[in-house]
Structure formats: structure tokens, C-alpha cells
């Protein structure tokens, strides 16, 4: 009997919204950052996106999706979500806030919905790669469809 592919909350959300996507899986026993994964799979840095979770002084959390080789511009990100400033959450808090673990965090299907911003460069591609909701899984889909599923907007949020 064939092993059934384990669906994550992110994949179930895309299925529910009838959004077309591809799943890419790879062997991985431990956390690797996005650049290591892209190198391992010969994927474009510009087309591969990481999910970052921040918190503002107000206590509100915000999600930013940016290319793996870029850094989040905290000032631009804060301005886009209407806050004076935001800072990255601690790694130990990722699961508590999102329901996902480090290396498997995706902007789709988190425990709660947070205001989400995709870097505007995502719109340069027909498809982008994001985490599939667990280590060793990726979702490949249209950035417009992914942003729709995440109820996200696009903005200039990176520093080169």
C-alpha cells in the first residue's frame, strides 16, 4: 500500500479554496535555512520565500513573506501594517504563535489569522516556493493565489 502524503493545515486551506498548487518533498532530519534547502534542491533564491513572524509593541503579530536571501526591512514592514515598529519573535515562540515549527512555518493555515504581507518581488514570478507547513515539504503556487489564501497584501519590505 502506498504511503499517504500527510497534508498540512496550509495544504488543506489551499484545497478548501480550490487553489492549484504543487507539493515538493525532500529528505530532511533537522532544520536547514531556506538557502541551504534551495541549494540542496537547485532552486532559485529569488523564487524561494521564507515566512517571518513579528510582534509590535501593541502585542499584535504580523507575518512577512520575503525571498530567502533578503532581509526584512523592519521600518518598512512596520509602516505597512500601521505600527511604529515591529521585531522578530523569538524562535521558541514560533510554535505557540503560529502552530508551526521553525523551518516549517508558512503564511497559510496558522493557528490564528495575522495581517500578512508578501514582498512585492513575488509578483515577478508565475510560481513561488514557500514552506509546506512542515520540515521537508514545500508548496509551489502562484503568488497571487497564495496571497489570496493568506489574505495578504504585497509591499516593498526587504533590504538588499
pLDDT digit string (tens) for 44-63? 999 999 999 999 999 999 99
The interaxial angle of helices 143-150 and 9-16, nearest 10 deg, is 100
In the chain, the N- to C-terminal Cα span, in Å, equals 48
Alpha-helical regions (H) of the chain: 9-16, 34-41, 74-80, 94-98, 143-150
* Residue with cell string 492549484: 20
Q: What average pLDDT score do residues 23-52 get?
A: 88
CB atoms within 10 A of CB 46: 16
Q: Which domains does the chain have, with CATH numbers?
A: 21-159 (3.90.960.10)
pLDDT digit string (tens) for 83-128? 999 999 999 999 999 999 988 899 999 999 999 999 999 999 999 9
Q: Could you tell me the three cell numbers for 59? A: 502585542
Amino acid at each position: 500500500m502506498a504511503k499517504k502524503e500527510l497534508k498540512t493545515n496550509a495544504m488543506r486551506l489551499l484545497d478548501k479554496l480550490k487553489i492549484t498548487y504543487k507539493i515538493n518533498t525532500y529528505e530532511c532530519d533537522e532544520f536547514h535555512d531556506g538557502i541551504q534547502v534551495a541549494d540542496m534542491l537547485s532552486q532559485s533564491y529569488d523564487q524561494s520565500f521564507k515566512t517571518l513572524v513579528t510582534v509590535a509593541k501593541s502585542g499584535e503579530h504580523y507575518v512577512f513573506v520575503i525571498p530567502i536571501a533578503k532581509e526584512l526591512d523592519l521600518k518598512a514592514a512596520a509602516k505597512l501594517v500601521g505600527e511604529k515598529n515591529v521585531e522578530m519573535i523569538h524562535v521558541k515562540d514560533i510554535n505557540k504563535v503560529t502552530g508551526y515549527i521553525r523551518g516549517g512555518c508558512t503564511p497559510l493555515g496558522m493557528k490564528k489569522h495575522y495581517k500578512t504581507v508578501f514582498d512585492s518581488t513575488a509578483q515577478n514570478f508565475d510560481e513561488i516556493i514557500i514552506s509546506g507547513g512542515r520540515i521537508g515539504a514545500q508548496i509551489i503556487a502562484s503568488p497571487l493565489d497564495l496571497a489570496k489564501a493568506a489574505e495578504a497584501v504585497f509591499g516593498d519590505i526587504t533590504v538588499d
